[in-house]
């Protein structure tokens, strides 16, 4: 048998000049049992497509099982506006604290104690007021001061 037509198709196939119909003829030829020994080397090329295993009906189920599609997905975390703005709130609090401390540092410490003798007298007076021995006396003086203030303010309230 003469295989010149098949050899011509093979030459055109290697030069990429064959049509789909001619490639189909080549596939059909090489799928036969009796292929000449000189063309046997090309049989694997044209029968490869026929040897592809087909996927079974349960293929999708097996793949989904392997991937874990049937497992429940974790729920999405709800992020509220307050949560998203929390870093901004923290930054604002830090700025407020720094500004407050800065303003407190600039406040004058002058309490009218320009004269050292006056400052010593006020310190000594405060020190005596804080001592345990004069605690009762101080409370009595505060009560007397409160009585004086209330006696002077009471007629003004009724007028």
Give the pLDDT of the chain (159 residues) as one tens digit per residue.
568 888 899 999 999 999 999 988 888 888 888 888 888 888 888 887 766 677 888 888 888 888 876 566 678 888 999 999 999 999 999 999 999 988 877 766 655 566 778 778 877 777 776 665 555 555 556 666 666 655 555 554 444
For 139, the domain range is 116-158
Is 69 part of any domain?
Answer: no
Number of structural domains the chain divides into: 2
**83 in helix, strand or coil?**
helix
Is 148 part of any domain?
Answer: yes
Give pLDDT, residue 159: 46
Integer Cα distance of 39 and 3 in angstroms: 9
Is 20 part of any domain?
Answer: yes
Say what the pTM is. Answer: 0.34
Is 131 part of any domain?
Answer: yes
Is 104 part of any domain?
Answer: no
Element (H, E) at 41: none
Give pLDDT, residue 157: 47
Integer Cα distance of 43 and 40 in angstroms: 5
């Amino acid at each position: 048998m003469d295989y010149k037509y098949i050899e011509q198709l093979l030459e055109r196939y290697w030069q990429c000049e064959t049509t789909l119909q001619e490639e189909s003829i080549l596939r059909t030829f090489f799928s036969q049992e009796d292929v000449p020994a000189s063309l046997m080397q090309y049989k694997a090329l044209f029968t490869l497509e026929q040897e592809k295993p087909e996927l079974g009906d349960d293929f999708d189920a097996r793949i989904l099982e392997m991937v874990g599609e049937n497992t429940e997905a974790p729920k999405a975390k709800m992020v509220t506006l307050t949560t998203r703005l929390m870093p901004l709130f923290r930054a604002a609090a830090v700025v407020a604290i720094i500004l407050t401390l800065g303003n407190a540092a600039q406040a004058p410490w002058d309490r009218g104690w320009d004269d050292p003798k006056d400052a010593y007298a006020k310190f000594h007076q405060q020190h005596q007021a804080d001592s345990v021995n004069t605690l009762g006396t101080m409370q009595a003086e505060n009560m007397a001061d409160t009585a004086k203030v209330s006696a002077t303010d009471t007629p003004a309230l009724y007028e």
